[in-house]
Structures are given as C-alpha cells and as structure tokens.
Structure 1
C-alpha cells in the first residue's frame, strides 16, 4: 500500500498543484451545536484517516498528529471574549494515484448572539499531469446535516431533494431572487410520478450542504413560469442551476446553466456536470458569512495578536513578529494556489462556453453534420467527405467529427468509426486543440496502422504518438467503467481500453480521449469514442 513518504518521493520532481474540489459552509441552530459539531468532526477524522487521535481531540483542543504512512492531522482552537473557533486539517491518501493527497479542512465557529457556523472543504494536492477525478465533498457534511439542524439563506438544509408544491412556488421564487442568497439552487423538473433525468437520491448524496435542492412537478412548473417567465423557468424534465446574484433587472438565462431532458429521458452524466460546477463554488466567496476558517488562518490571527501584545526583550518581540509573518505567508501562499486553480478552471469554462456559442451561431452547419452522421448510421457506410471538411484541414481547425470523417473517407479499409464515436465528437464540439486531435487521428490511420499491418508490435507502433498513447487506463476500472469502454461492432461487444489522450482538465474544452481497438485478422482499427474523458 502506498504511504505518504512513498508519494512524496514519487512526486519530488513533478510540479504540484492544489485543486479546490468542494467547499460547504452553513449554520447550525441546535443549542449545543458547537460541541456536537466538533465531536462529530473529530470522530469522522479518526475514521477517515484511520488514526487514533490524542486526548486533546476529544475536548476540542489544539493538537498535532503525524501518523507517518497514514495521515497528518492538525487542529487549532482560538478563543476570546467574542466566542471561539475550532479548525482542523487532515492530510491523507484516498486513492492509489501517485503524487495525489487529499486535504480536508473543517471549522466550527460560535460567536456570541449568532448561530454556530460550520464549514468543510476538500482540496486535492496532485501533479500537473493528474488524470482528473469526480468532484465530491467530505462525508462529514452529509452526516452532520442528518444529525443536526442545518440552514443557509434562511432555508433548512437536508440530505434530500425537496419537492416544491404549487402553493410554495412564490416562496421558491423569493429564494431564487433573494439578493443575499449565497448557495446555488438546483431545480429539477420531474414528471407526475416523480421521475427525472437524473437519480435524485444520488444527486442529493453528492450535493447536500452545498446547494438548495428542489424538484418541481408539471403544475407547479407552470406556476413558476407564470411568475418568472419562460426563459428563467424550469420545465419539461429540464434541470436548471440558479447561481447566486440573480436579479430581475439584470437576469441572463445563460448565466444559469440548463440541462434539457434527452429523448431517452435519462442523463446520468448531468449529475457529474452539476457537481463539478456546484461543489467548488464557495471557494469564490471568502468574506463575511462565507469566511472559511482554516488552521493557518487561526494561527495567523493568534500569532498576530501575540506579536501586537509581545512584552519582554526586543528579541522576544522580533521572534513573535517573525512567527506572525510566517503564518501570514503560509496563508497567502495557499490562497494564491487556490485562486490560480480557480482562474484556470474559469478560463477553461469560458472557452467551452465561447465554443458553444459559436456552435449555436453555426447551427445550420452543425445540423448538416448531424444529418450526415445519421445517414452514415442507417446505410452502414463511412461518412462522406464534404468540401468544408477539406477547407477545415487547410485552416487547421477541423472539428472532431470532421477529423473522423476525413480519416474514414481517405482510409476506408483501415479505419471504421462507430456512431458512438461520432456522437461523443459532437458532444465535444468545444474542444480547443483540434489540430492536435487531427494529427493523432492521422498518425493512427497511417504510421500506427502500417506498423501493425506489417506485423510490428504495438510497442513499436505506438512510438508515433509519444506520450499521447495509453494501452490501458491508469486506474483499475469499475464495472461501470468497463461498460463505458465497451462498444457494439457488427453485433458484438468490443472493449476498448487503448486510447489516445490530450489534456487532463475536467472539461470538454481541454481534454480528449480517443478509444479504439485493433482487429488483427482484418487489419482494421475501430474507433468507439472520440470525446470527453470517460469515468473510471
């Protein structure tokens, strides 16, 4: 089993980054909420990190624990005449990915005359070439909401998606347009039986504590449309994410993402997409009621107070000042890393949105491509090559679907593209590195195919791709992960772990995976997927 020292050694020469994964902040209204929340958090830390905590932990006092191969835990308590704050950081290994560590921060704050504030956040410390992960939040959030009375924005928080009745629509509208609202609202349109395009229980398990979760049936949906207008409403099985800051005068539906219900009625990917937007959202708001107390911040405050009140010799005063500055530097460094990661993520999302707008503006062209794809599926022939496709190559900006169509048109005896690959390519229309993708597909159809067709080994053939080729996945695949990589070719199932890869970010604008298989006795390459990274 990998240990913290093992990972630190493996990652020594690899650039590290801190990726903000999730943050939840809410109030607790129970009378003894502070002590109860600290006790539950300490119990969760011990179970999660699989360590025995010192006796100070049970009393909510400050302590440090270095469990070597298992975890490190630091807790700090600050108390003054205004109240008290307890914070803890746990660093541990949550998976087998080399160079990856998980940092969980928790705080509990009790101020005189105010409700108890609780916060938990998760940060992934990983290498720049980390393959990515699904966004989640610490289980303690769900556990605590299930045992204590939690609220945010004047609304109770639960571990379930709450149905909105017709007579409650005005209250929902008030929440949506509340200028002080801090948490997003996820509204799911359901049919009269409660059916939705996502699994509501699974969605609640992922998001409770980080968003207001609501479902709305047909009749109540009509009432919401009447109150807020069609463009800001949610109906016909759709899901809308209402971001904070929604105002009637400046409302823009494009700032509040909408997931339309697919023809199949089921869209399990939406849960992952919504989670990736919602869970890191609170990192962008760090003042006032959203202030997140980390161990470093508490130590900074304590060090600064000690420096300001330092007595004794000049050397003692300087030592206190140096310690205060060191604490401030640590806090500023971590804040800078988080801000940089958020800016990178926002830039990628902006690029994805811009590409989506371009796709909509070019809707006629997109529809023509889709019609060609459907024609190819029905006739079981390779998609035809159009003049626009050739022009796109000269301009070095062919879409993924265009690149697939070009290689199958030029090499019909070497490459077969399945409809699943075309669909995934259309879904990744926003992918930015189109020229690189075409180069990989071209090498796949020429150099790679030629080497294998002449009897060469895969080890030799793959050299034309450099680091962009993987014979199998980096992690062990779950049953669902294998199903995602299994495609139907000529009536039979064909599993495709081999893939070409570009990027590791969790968005369609920067990351691409091309899954394929080599049919040796037919000297044929079959491509089953050409789009976003498939979950493990």
Structure 2
C-alpha cells in the first residue's frame, strides 16, 4: 500500500554524496540495534545488506567505475518488519537525479507497506519518513519548497492569501489552521508543517485576529475559524471559472480525533497525500528506474563500441533493436500516464462545474425568494401571529421551521400534504408539535453535526417524543408508506418524532425524517397521522 510520496529539490554543499550520507546515517540509527553504514559504499551500490534488527538496505547507481555519468541517478531502499503487526513490512525508497554536475538535485521519497497476505488487515497510521526532517535541515532545500516554514493569515495578508489560493500555477495544497476562541490551536501547527514539508504549505491564523475582516476579503469556504482546519487543494479550471475544492475539519471532529495521540495530524496528512501520492509516484526514482537507466547507458556504450568493430555489426543490430524496444516501452508508459492525467483533469473540471452549478442554484433560489416581495411574507406573518397567540397548526409550524432553518431542514411536499390533512381533521396539539420541531431544528441538529448521534435524542425530546425506528417489522405496504423521494432517490424513513398513540389524526402525530450527513441536513417526509405498519 502506498502511504506517502513526495519530491524535493536540494542544493547541498558536497553534492549528491551529502544526501547519501544522510540516508546512510538515518538507516543505521533508525532502530534500537544501531548499525553504522558507510555512506560511500551506499553511494557505490549495495546489492543487499541485512542489518541487526532484520532490516534490509539496497542501493543502485548509474556511476560507472566510481565515476559520475550524467544524468546521474541513485536509489536506495530500506525495508524493515513492523514492530507490532506480524506479516507487514515497511519500505522506504529514496531516489536522486542530477542532470549535470553542480546542478540542483531532485530527490523523491516514497513510503509503502508490503503485506504477506490479505489476512494482514491491521489499520495503518499515515506518517512520513523521519529522514525527511534530516534532509530538510542538512541539505538546503530550494526556496520554492512548500512547508519549509509556517505562513500567517491576518488582516494585512488576506488579499495575498486569496491570490495564492486562486493562482492557476499553484501545485501544492494549503492547510489553514485557526485558533479557538481562547486563542489555542487544537492541532500543533509546527507538527503539521513538519509532516507536510515538501507536500503542502501550512498557514496559521494568529490568536485573536479580527476574523471578520479576513472573511470580508477571503471567501468563507477558503477560511477556517474557531479552531477548525481547512485543507484547500489546487485550483481547477472548469467551464464556470476557477474553483478550489476544500475539506474542512470542524473543531468537534478534531476534538474527537485528539483523543488518540497524533491521530489529528495523521488524518490531515492522509487527506493531503490521498490527492498528491499518485502524481508524485509517477516521478519516483526507484531501484528499477536506476537499473533501467544503467542498462540504457551500457547499451549506448556497447553500440558505440560495436560500430567501431566490423566483426560486431550483427551484435550492434541486436543491441540497437533492444534499445529501440526499451524506448518504445518508455513512450507507452508516458502516454498512459498522460491519459490518466487527462482523465483526471476532465473529472476535476466536471466536479468544478457541479460545484459551480450548486452555488449558482443557491444564489438563484435566494434571488427567487427576494423577488417574491411582500406577498411571500403573508403566510409567514400569519404563522408568526398564530405562534404568538399559541394557536398555530401543523402547516404553519412547518412553514416557520422551513423559513427559519432552510440550511438545516428540508420539508418535502409529502410532509406538507400530510400536515394539511391533519389540520383539516382538527389536530389538537399545535403547541407541542412546534416545540418538538424547534428542538428538532436546533438542539437535535447540532447534536448530529457534532457527531453525537441519536443517543442524545431522548434527552432532547423525552423518552416518549422520539423513536429511532418503528419497533416492529414493517409490511411491504408499511415500507411503501414510509418511502419518500428526495434528490432522485427513494428513501425509507423510520426515525420519527411522536405525540400520542391513538388511531386519531386529531390527537396523534408522527414526523418521519432522515439525516443526510453529507449535506448536514434533516429531511422531513411525513408530518401527520400515524401510518399503518
């Protein structure tokens, strides 16, 4: 399983050997049974070296007889058993490429696991090799390396922050960390930065910053407030303009993850690398890539020597054919990668269009409400007067909830129809029904958003006011009566609020609903009499 992959550009004093020495030192001191590994020997290539703790280190190089051949390639691989999970090995690969002497050195790092069989199913905590921390400190990463230092978002930098988010050439995600109301961070910004160096930039909002001013400049979906963490991915260009997808970790989610040490930072790293691992893995300089490059060099050299020897023409032809086939395979691989990237760009564009349409639709709906003018306020005015006089009916209660909490509650037409039918039959408990519905849209909705689930429902509605299901097997007709159409799907709704047990539309109420966590929304399908089982 691919866990982590990244790419750096280094400019160390001492050239590639400086990086190889850091790799040798890290590999030798990684475990309790420390082993000294000769950096020069590692740089010259080691077929397989077994260390005292069961680790195995190998390396490949394009150097010939100790002399650098450019472009110079090097790769090292360290594998070791998992200290806890039997049957799992961790494999770290480091690759180097330098086009010419004294040029910048590209360094790719890949971390993966290898399991002996599908029976090894223990969960994996996403991390990155500690080697990266040593390389960043010792080998002088280039100026444009993301995550080398924390950045700040305040009132003065808000405009430049927004410009960086929407910069078309941006290739690295941005992780925005905000403090809570007490000025404390729910995650450690420096720890997050250390994990994401080379992969993403980490930006912090200083404690007690005027976030209202920032929000005036930065779109709300790009912000983070009250201890939240927002992960903002690279910009995508769709038919409706630029769009940046983001994933917001709310304070409640972070607090839940914080119960396990290091889990929050690991989750942030996992979210980021889920998007970045694949493109970085295509560029990774593995043992096989170095071996192929060395074979290519040998082929080229052999062909050149063969051309000088009349007796070797037949062998030259064979070598040339082998070289041609290798180049064709390389071109095919590049073509397939290009196709995958093209497909991904298309998917990203379509996702951007969908998001843009959603925002446009929300704006249109808001506009429609605004243009209806005073006529639209008449039913709401009647409902408010009924509430004040404590004689509101079910239909008026639903209208108030729909108006006050449109982002939290959706009321289907079937619910409005059933409420109207109960009102016609003289429903008696309008006040009690409204009390249930207001708790439903406030306390209960917040409990679900906070991940507390239905365990708090009985505390909110009372033991007789809520049921998670019908409590008995439903007939086919019973299921049909409780099936409602929402966003192109048929949804069976068994959760319900309740008043009374009599078979009477005037004295009994059932509010059937379902929670859609991806929208943070409660959807009511029925609000009326008890439905037959």
- Normalised to the residue count of structure 1, the TM-score between the two structures is 0.55
User: Which position in structure 1 is the counterpart of 2:197?
Assistant: 208
Are positions 1:47 and 2:4 aligned together? no
Contact between 1:173 and 1:224, CA under 8 Å: does it hold in 2?
no
**CA drift at 1:365:** 8.1
SS at match of 1:60: helix
Matches within 5 A, 1:115-194: 115-126=104-115, 127-129=117-119, 130-151=121-142, 153=144, 157-158=148-149, 161-191=150-180, 194=183
Whether 1:20 and 2:2 are equivalent positions in the alignment is yes
What's 1:462 paired with?
Answer: none
Of residues 77, 80, 95, the one that matches 2:83 is 95
Counterpart pick for 2:285 among 288, 293, 302: 293
Residue matched to 1:105 = 93
| 1:273, distance to aligned residue in structure 2 (A) | 3.0
In structure 1, the partner of 2:57 is 73
CA distance in 2, matches of 1:53, 1:31: 22
1:195 to partner: Cα distance: 1.4
State the distance in 1 between where 2:494 and 2:323 align. Answer: 58
CA-based RMSD? 5.3
Distance 1:392 1:304 in 2: 71
SS at match of 1:45: helix
Matching residue of 2:231: 241
**Residue 145 to residue 56, structure 1, CA distance change in 2 (3 Å):** closer
Q: Which residue of 2 aligns with 1:279?
A: 273
Residues 212, 84 of structure 1: alpha-carbon distance in 2 compared, 3 angstrom cutoff: same
Alignment of 1:395-414 (within 5 A): none
Greater Cα offset, 360-369 or 116-125: 360-369
User: Residues 224 and 152 (structure 1 numbering): CA distance in 2 closer, same or farther, change over 3 Å?
Assistant: farther
CA–CA distance in structure 1, aligned partners of residues 277 and 152 of structure 2: 28
Q: Summarize the Cα distance change of 1:147–1:222 in structure 2 as closer, same or farther, 3 Å threshold.
A: farther
Q: Which structure has the larger Rg over C-alpha atoms? A: 2
Q: Provide, for residues 34-62 of structure 1, a one-character-per-residue CA deviation record: whole Å limited to 9, x for no partner.
A: 33222111111222365747646456222
Q: Is the 8 A contact 1:196 1:265 kept in 2?
A: no
Aligned equivalents of 1:224 and 1:77: distance in 2?
51
Aligned partners of 1:259, 1:144: CA distance in 2, in Å?
A: 30
Q: Does structure 1 retain, via aligned residues, the 8 Å contact 2:49–2:56? A: yes
Q: CA deviation at 1:172?
A: 3.0
- Alpha carbons of 1:109 and 1:152: their partners in 2 closer, same or farther (altered >3 Å)? farther
* Structure 1 counterpart of 2:299: 307
Task: Find runs of 4+ consecutive structure 1 residues off by over 6 angstroms.
Answer: 263-266, 319-333, 365-369, 392-395, 401-405, 425-430
Q: Could you list the runs of 5+ residues in structure 1 that have no partner in the other structure?
A: 1-18, 406-424, 431-536
Deviation at 1:77, TM superposition (A): 2.1
Q: Kindly tell me: are residues 223 and 124 of structure 1, through their superposed partners in 2, closer, same or farther at Cα, counting changes over 3 Å? A: farther
Q: Is the 8 A contact 2:222 2:232 kept in 1?
A: no
**Residues of 1 paired with 2:331 and 2:25: CA distance?**
26
Shift in Å at residue 207 of structure 1?
2.8
Which of the numbers 225, 241, 245 marks the counterpart of 1:250? 241
Distance of aligned partners of 1:128 and 1:117 in 2 relative to their CA distance in 1, 3 Å threshold: same
CA contact 1:239–1:260 (8 Å) conserved in 2: yes
TM-score (norm: length of structure 2): 0.55
CA contact (8 A) 1:137 1:206 kept: yes
